[in-house]
Amino acid sequence: MTRPVLIRLALLGTLLVLAVVSAWAQPGDALRGEQLFVGTISFSAGGAPCLGCHGIAGVGLAGGANYGPDLTNLHENYGADGIAGVLESLPFPSMEPIYATRQLTADEQLDLGAYFAAVSGSPVANDRLLLAEVATGILLLLAVILLFGRGRLHSVRRGLVARASNQKGGMR
């Protein structure tokens, strides 16, 4: 083989090794992180799944987000190091009773961090669409009430007036 061919093969081999090493070195498994987040895989120490209190609205996981904050933009706001620090210590008073004796393993922390990185920046559901759906539901409910209850008040009133008239003298 000629020298240029050997150099090209060496460069190609180096690039291939670097690609494999960088893919292998990526900390955490985002798919496993999602499974931990939603609870399809349990935490090794038995802590509650994140979805019990938090949601990721950007991917349609509303969950119990009415208690804890939505975590769609967690990675965007705090970065990998900030998330790693939070997952290591879980410093929030509302999380202490749940995780004080149920620490996350290093692998679980990495997997959750990878998942938060993967969903970061996902567009959150449009609130105007939700408002339109609620308004439509209210209008439909009012239409049903109007349709079925329209003659009810008059028929009740007629019965009361007739009964009072029959008592000759009105009410007792």
Q: What is the pLDDT of residues 126-158, one digit of tens each?
A: 556 667 777 888 988 888 888 877 666 667 777
Q: What is the pLDDT of residue 23?
A: 45
Question: Do residues 106 and 136 lie in contact, with contact meaning Cβ atoms separated by under 8 Å?
Answer: no
- Between 134 and 81, name the one with better pLDDT: 81
Q: Is residue 9 very low, low, confident or very high in pLDDT (cuts 50, 70, 90)?
A: low
Q: What is the pLDDT of residue 39?
A: 92
Q: Let me know the angle formed at the C-alpha of 162 by 156 and 166, rounded to the nearest 5 degrees.
A: 145
Q: What is the pLDDT of residue 21?
A: 45
Question: Do residues 32 and 111 lie in contact, with contact meaning Cβ atoms separated by under 8 Å?
Answer: yes
Question: Do residues 75 and 90 lie in contact, with contact meaning Cβ atoms separated by under 8 Å?
Answer: no
Q: Is residue 64 very low, low, confident or very high in pLDDT (cuts 50, 70, 90)?
A: low
Q: Which of 134, 133, 118, 132 is nearest to 61 (CA)?
A: 118
What residue type is 142 in one-letter code?
L
Quote the CA–CA distance of 86 and 76 in Å, as a whole number: 14
In the predicted model, what is the mean pLDDT of residues 64-78? Answer: 82
Torsion sign (Cα): 90, 94, 99, 104: negative
Q: Which of 120, 111, 119 is nearest to 26 (CA)?
A: 111
- Between 17 and 48, name the one with better pLDDT: 48
The fold of the 15-119 domain, in CATH, is Cytochrome Bc1 Complex; Chain D, domain 2 (1.10.760)
Quote the CA–CA distance of 63 and 71 in Å, as a whole number: 11
Q: Is residue 24 very low, low, confident or very high in pLDDT (cuts 50, 70, 90)?
A: very low
Our measurement of the distance from residue 3's CA atom to the centroid of its chain's CA atoms, rounded to an integer in Å, reads: 57
Q: What is the pLDDT of residue 37?
A: 92
